[in-house]
Amino acid sequence: MATTQPFDMVLFGATGDLVMRKILPSLYAAHRSGALHADGRIVALGRTAGDLSDYLAQVQAQSMPHIKDIGDDWAAFAARISYLPLDAGEKDHFQRLADTLGVRPDRVTVCYLATAPRLFTKICAGLRDVGLNHAGVRVVLEKPLGHDLQSSEEINADVARHFAENQIYRIDHYLGKESVQNLMALRFGNVLLEPLWRREWIDHVQITIAEEIGVEGRGDFYDRTGALRDMMQNHLLQLLCMVAMEPPANFSADAVRDEKLKVLKALRPFSADDLALRVVRGQYRAGVADGQAVPGYQDEPNVAPESSTETFVALRAEISNWRWSGVPFYLRTGKRLAARLAEIVISFRDVPLDLFQRPNSLQSTNRLVIRLQPEESISLHMLGKEPGEGMRLQPTVLNLDLHAASRRRRADAYERLLLDVIHGRLGLFMRRDELAAAWSWVEPILDSWAREDTPPRPYAAGSWGPAASNALLSRSGAAWHEEI
Ligand code: BG6
């Protein structure tokens, strides 16, 4: 793995959950693998007064439990960290930060904004005021970027006042997952799949991100957000783009993002009439998760008792272009579902003539399954001959997961994306126009939910969501792929 150049990683919101659970463990993994330059500093910023030893005690309590394997190199990693209290409203706090870092356009300075988005504008202006928007500075923006198209455009316009677009890294950690990138390699590095990758041969596509967990102490945030904004508008649509995009002219960040944008713009808009047929929203009730009784969503802490926020959404998307016209893309995500499962399933059409009188269970079995969770894998489901006498078919699975075969350590999504930022690689980060296109497409759904009085459909915690989500597929003879 190539070592990065010298860098400063400035973490805004460094005492928060994201930094403790994901960012520090990922930086430690990068440190362990030797990917970080020896002159790479981590500057943690938080609102609480305190010194480095307080902060490191907090890291020990809150971050270390999320690290699988802590070695004797932890001390060397911790030596990279310094702590500065910073209040985004205080100008002299930014000056203190600039004095600590030095204003050095020749040095990579990553400012990771792991804070509430309402602080993004203030933070970016504060950085600009002290000269920390020079060419070496990159800002990483965490989702959710806004609440709707307008608020997201406002944030983007504010950030753009201080930073050029190529300094802005809008992170979607799903794009950092290895199998998503492997999908690109399989599609564009081989001649075999591409001719089949179109309406003539693909029956439908499913994208599922199912979570077993509930709102996990984030009731307040989640109740204002819901599954459509939290997962669908970003993670699921980004995965859809990866499946549906045309081959880019080259692998530069903008060439890839141009193709993703075309997909988002070709999504068939929802009309008032077909919303009811194409979108299902649900909310979990009490049930069982992982063998334990769990409360319903409305009984979670910091959730309004009569909340109509959706914890599940399934929808049928269509892409109006020559490659995909008429092919349904079924997308679903939800909390407190039967299993933790994230996958993309490409279901191919059946052979034109059944020579082997296959039973129903072996009809339409050609599938490419790209699994992101619980384990990452890619497999091609086909039929072969059952050994022995006669001519009976049996399912067979080709494992296309080269990574598993190589036994190399698999970097986690955040680790890979953080290294991309330090290296200045923008390809896996969302461009402003992509974000706007994604918001434009989901907005009619949000508007219609805001208008209607019908509550989300209930489903029991530990199930696969409301029955109506199955009906979305069964109308065209398909079913959700739920093999764990
Ligand atoms: C985040 C959402 O973006 O993704 C969370 O805000 C969700 O609600 C999480 O739990 C899921 O990510 P992963 O990688 O654990 O599937």
Confidence of residue 110 (pLDDT cuts 50, 70, 90): very high
| Same domain, yes or no: 32 and 101 | yes
Other beta carbons within 10 Å of 184: 16
Is residue 207 in a domain? yes
Give the mutation target among 141, 230, 232 for probing the ligand 1 site: most ligand atoms within 8 A of CB: 230
| Same domain, yes or no: 197 and 129 | no
Scanning the structure block, which residue is given the tokens 């794009």? 175
Total structural domains in the chain?
Answer: 2
Characterize 406-438 residue by residue with b for buried, 16 or more Cβ atoms within 10 angstroms of its Cβ, and e for exposed. Answer: eeeeebbbbbbbbbbbbebebbbbbbbbbbbbb
CB 161 within 8 A of CB 122: no
pLDDT (average), residues 98-108:
94
Q: What is the pLDDT of residues 337-391, one digit of tens each?
A: 999 999 999 999 999 999 988 888 888 889 999 999 998 889 999 999 999 998 9
pLDDT (average), residues 70-82:
94
The CATH number that applies at residue 29 is 3.40.50.720
Is residue 424 in a domain? no
| Same domain, yes or no: 81 and 180 | no
Per DSSP, the chain holds a count of helices (H) and strands (E) of 16, 17
**Ligand 1 atom closest to Cα of 373?**
16
The CATH number that applies at residue 384 is 3.30.360.10
CB 115 within 8 A of CB 13: yes
| Same domain, yes or no: 212 and 261 | yes
Nearest protein Cα to ligand 1, atom 9: 231
Scanning the structure block, which residue is given the tokens 């805004």? 12
User: Looking at the predicted structure, is the pLDDT value of residue 290 above 90?
Assistant: no
| Same domain, yes or no: 287 and 346 | yes
| Same domain, yes or no: 219 and 123 | no
Of 142, 162, 194, which residue is a domain's last?
Answer: 142
pLDDT (average), residues 48-59:
93
pLDDT of 362: 83
Is residue 422 in a domain? no
Of 121, 142, 163, which residue is a domain's last?
Answer: 142
User: Looking at the predicted structure, is the pLDDT value of residue 26 above 90?
Assistant: yes
Is residue 372 in a domain? yes
Is residue 179 in a domain? yes
Higher pLDDT, 410 or 304: 304
The whole domain housing 78 covers 7-142
User: Looking at the predicted structure, is the pLDDT value of residue 57 above 70?
Assistant: yes
211 lines ligand 1 (CB under 6 A): yes
Q: What is the pLDDT of residues 239-252, one digit of tens each?
A: 999 999 999 999 99
172 lines ligand 1 (CB under 6 A): no
| Same domain, yes or no: 121 and 225 | no
pLDDT of 402: 62
Is residue 405 in a domain? yes
Which amino acid belongs to residue 87? Answer: D
Q: What is the pLDDT of residues 219-245, one digit of tens each?
A: 999 999 999 999 999 999 999 999 999
230 lines ligand 1 (CB under 6 A): yes
Question: Average pLDDT, whole number, for the chain?
Answer: 94
Nearest protein Cα to ligand 1, atom 5: 230
Beta-strand pair 202-210/341-348: antiparallel
pLDDT of 52: 95
Ligand 1 centroid – CA 247 distance (Å): 28
Q: What is the pLDDT of residues 111-156, one digit of tens each?
A: 999 998 889 999 999 999 999 999 999 999 998 899 999 999 999 9
Ligand 1 centroid – CA 209 distance (Å): 9
| Same domain, yes or no: 132 and 207 | no
Higher pLDDT, 361 or 208: 208
Is residue 426 in a domain? no
Q: Residue 181 phi/psi, 5° resolution?
A: -75, -30
Is residue 293 in a domain? yes
Q: What is the pLDDT of residues 170-207, one digit of tens each?
A: 999 999 998 888 899 999 999 999 999 999 999 999 99
| Same domain, yes or no: 317 and 441 | yes
Joined tokens for residue 35: 């990917």
Instruction: Output the pTM of the full model.
Output: 0.95
pLDDT of 360: 83
| Same domain, yes or no: 57 and 185 | no
Residues 6+ positions from 93 with CB-CB distance below 8 Å: 84, 85, 86, 87, 126
| Cα-Cα-Cα-Cα dihedral sign, residues 424, 427, 428, 432 | positive
Joined tokens for residue 269: 């808009």
Residues designated catalytic? 235
Helices 149-162 & 432-451, crossing angle to 10 degrees? 150
**Ligand 1 atom closest to Cα of 230?**
6
Of 142, 159, 184, which residue is a domain's last?
Answer: 142
Distance CA 372, CA 206 (A): 13
pLDDT of 405: 62
65 preceded by a cis bond (ω within 30 of 0): no
Ligand 1 centroid – CA 304 distance (Å): 22
pLDDT of 215: 93
| Same domain, yes or no: 344 and 450 | yes
434 lines ligand 1 (CB under 6 A): no
Q: What is the pLDDT of residues 402-461, one digit of tens each?
A: 666 666 777 889 999 999 999 999 999 999 999 999 999 999 999 999 988 889 999 999
| Same domain, yes or no: 192 and 138 | no
310 lines ligand 1 (CB under 6 A): no
